[in-house]
């Protein structure tokens, strides 16, 4: 009897949760909800979402402005407006939203705030696209990043050999530890999500092999 009433009490607690409360979860594997770790970059091919910003990060990091500020803290900036290269991509994060467009695209800033990203477009560098997991089936607030390192514009602005793994590892090295931008200081830890994608080139844009791992970053504002 006591057990039963505890069960009922527990159930009513669950139902009493406010509708907008986020699931306290780092992320949900997109494949469990019919999604994929590869975004859609063209017919039948995609780029790996090889970095996840945990939904357990400080909430202010997970907004569009928040991820942009964090990106600047680790050497990225908003896209150069003068040189537009590459169409937006879309992804299905298995959260019930289906295929959604990227929310923002960020490029490496080579040190000059006004022309740094333009320089990046010319000489190549790291960039990433951001997708937010916020559908009702997996409302974690996690950000899935498709990170890559590109060739320079003269070479057609495609991904360098091994550019997905290299881009990911460069971003993670820049992010882990203490960073700051515009008065906000971040403490970031990482964890490897081993083998979440099949290793190799199957379905991967430009036929560039990936190692199949993603990195989970948890970013706390100090
Ligand atoms: C996604 O982007 C494409 C290409 O820019 C655009 O045609 C489409 O309307 C966008 N979809 C949504 C849901 O915004
Ligand atoms: C989910 O994220 C998308 C993309 O950033 C945003 O446009 C939308 O408003 C968000 N939905 C909710 C319910 O917050």
Ligand number nearest CA of 87 is: 1
Nearest-angstrom CA–CA distance, 55 and 71: 17
Six-digit token pair at 102? 């990227």
* Residue 96 Cα to ligand 1 middle (Å): 18
User: Where do the structural domains in the chain lie, given as residue ranges?
Assistant: 25-221
Nearest-angstrom CA–CA distance, 6 and 59: 32
Question: Could you report the per-residue pLDDT of 160-189, keeping only the tens digit for each?
Answer: 889 999 999 999 999 999 999 999 999 999
Which residues are paired to 129 by β-bridges?
Answer: 105, 146
Six-digit token pair at 19? 């509708």
Cβ(52)–Cβ(214) below 8 Å: yes
Q: Is the CB of 101 under 6 A from ligand 1?
A: yes
Nearest-angstrom CA–CA distance, 93 and 30: 5
- State yes or no: pLDDT of 101 exceeds 80: yes
Ligand number nearest CA of 100 is: 1
pLDDT band at 118 (very low <50, low <70, confident <90, very high): low
CA angle, 91 as apex, 54 and 113 as ends, to 5°? Answer: 65
- State yes or no: pLDDT of 109 exceeds 90: no
Res 16: pLDDT = 40
Residue 52 has φ and ψ, to the nearest 5°, of: -120, 125
Q: Is the CB of 72 under 6 A from ligand 2?
A: no
Return the SS3 of 73: helix
- State yes or no: pLDDT of 14 exceeds 70: no
Burial of 46 (0-12, 13-18, 19+ CB in 10 A): buried
pLDDT band at 121 (very low <50, low <70, confident <90, very high): low
Q: Is the CB of 97 under 6 A from ligand 2?
A: no
* Residue 42 Cα to ligand 1 middle (Å): 14
In this structure, which residue's CA is closest to atom 1 in ligand 2? Answer: 134
Kindly report the average pLDDT of the chain as a whole number: 83
pTM of the model: 0.84
Mean pLDDT, residues 95-105: 93
* Residue 204 Cα to ligand 1 middle (Å): 21
In this structure, which residue's CA is closest to atom 11 in ligand 2? Answer: 134
Nearest-angstrom CA–CA distance, 43 and 205: 9
Six-digit token pair at 9? 């009490």
In this structure, which residue's CA is closest to atom 12 in ligand 1? Answer: 101
* Residue 101 Cα to ligand 1 middle (Å): 6
């Amino acid at each position: 009897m006591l057990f039963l009433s505890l069960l009922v009490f527990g159930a009513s607690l669950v139902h009493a949760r406010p509708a907008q409360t986020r699931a306290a979860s780092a992320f949900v594997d997109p494949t469990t909800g019919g999604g994929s770790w590869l975004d859609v970059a063209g017919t039948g091919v995609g780029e790996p979402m090889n970095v996840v910003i945990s939904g357990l990060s400080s909430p202010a990091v997970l907004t569009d402005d928040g991820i942009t500020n964090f990106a600047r803290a680790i050497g990225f900036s908003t896209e150069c407006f003068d040189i537009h290269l590459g169409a937006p991509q879309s992804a299905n994060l298995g959260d019930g939203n289906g295929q959604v467009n990227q929310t923002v695209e960020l490029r490496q800033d080579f040190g000059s705030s006004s022309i740094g990203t333009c320089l990046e477009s010319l000489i190549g560098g790291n960039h990433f696209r951001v997708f937010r997991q916020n559908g009702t089936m997996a409302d974690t607030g996690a950000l899935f990043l498709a990170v890559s390192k590109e060739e320079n514009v003269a070479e057609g602005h495609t991904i360098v050999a091994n550019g997905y793994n290299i881009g990911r590892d460069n971003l993670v090295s820049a992010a882990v530890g203490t960073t700051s931008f515009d008065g906000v200081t971040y403490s970031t830890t990482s964890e490897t999500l081993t083998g979440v994608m099949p290793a190799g080139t199957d379905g991967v844009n430009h036929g560039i092999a990936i190692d199949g791992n993603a990195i989970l970053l948890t970013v706390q504002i100090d």
